[in-house]
Amino acid sequence: MIPEHLTLEQCLRQCFVPAKKSKRKLFIGIIRKEKGLGGVRYIRRLLHKSHMLNKVKRLVDTAFLKKDPKKSLKHFERTIYWAQQLNPDADEAVLIAAYAHDIARAFAKEDAEFWNGKELNDADYLDSHQKESARMIVEFLEKEGYDKEKIKRVEHMVRYHEVGGSPESDLIKDADSISYLEVNAPKHVEKFGRMFGKEKTKTKFDFMFNRISSEKAKKVAEPMYKKVVEMLEES
């Protein structure tokens, strides 16, 4: 029977969220008992639709690994993870935006020369970055024939993932910040500290923490932020 804390719709979602594949068989069994073959057919349709997230992952992974074969993709996976933690009802459009939010960086040259005279949270750069990332992922989704309304949502979330302003763009922004402080910032202590100096690097860490909107996300991110600041001071 369906667990008391889950609705039928939530059980269906558990069947096709890629991050929870290990639970898929359990929930398919639940739906089969509750709804018979009709429920199973519905699950299969949902599973077919979920293939778009996997296509987006391949797109993003290929682009970044072509630029740098040693590139870690963990930041994107953890952005999905934290988006789901902050909003357990996050659907595929949210997960696509979470994974693809930085895709323009795969094609950008962002070395020390590029950042000379700019802060790492330069407003003009961030606006250009989120705009270009949105353009790229929309172009891909349109070619793949993805749902038009979901494309609009993905476009908005990616277009404003640096600054937020709506519940969904705030969600991506907050998940991005947590993942950055968890995965990227510890590496940037040495890399950015060496390239840009401690003050400029700390400005980046401050920006990523202070832009977080939700109190829930803030509580999660705070120990991560304090840890990397301490690491930077001691380096």
138 CB-side CA count, 13 A: 17
Quickly list H helices, the chain. Answer: 8-16, 24-49, 51-67, 74-86, 92-100, 112-115, 123-143, 148-159, 167-179, 185-196, 198-210, 215-234
Residue 10: CB atoms within 10 A of its CB come to 14
End-to-end distance of the chain based on CA atoms, in angstroms? 55
Superfamily name and number for 51-234? Hypothetical protein af1432 (1.10.3210.10)
Report the C-alpha gap between 31 and 47 in whole angstroms: 14
Contact 142, 53 (CB under 8 A): no
Cα separations in angstroms, 90 against 87, 159, 171, 188, 190:
5, 18, 9, 29, 34
pLDDT (tens place) for every residue of the chain, 235 residues total: 444 444 545 555 554 454 455 555 666 665 566 555 555 565 555 555 558 999 999 999 999 999 888 888 999 999 999 999 999 999 999 999 999 999 999 998 776 677 677 778 888 989 999 999 999 999 999 999 999 999 999 999 999 999 999 999 999 999 999 999 999 999 999 888 787 888 899 999 999 999 999 999 999 999 999 999 999 999 8
Angle formed at CA 101 by CA 167 and CA 65, multiple of 5 degrees: 160
Report the C-alpha gap between 117 and 139 in whole angstroms: 32
Cα separations in angstroms, 78 against 17, 182, 194, 230:
14, 9, 26, 22
Report the C-alpha gap between 235 and 232 in whole angstroms: 5
Tokens of 79: 């952005």
Contact 27, 14 (CB under 8 A): yes
Report the C-alpha gap between 24 and 16 in whole angstroms: 7
Q: Where are the chain's structural domains? A: 1-49, 51-234
Q: Please give the single-letter amino acid code of residue 215.
A: E
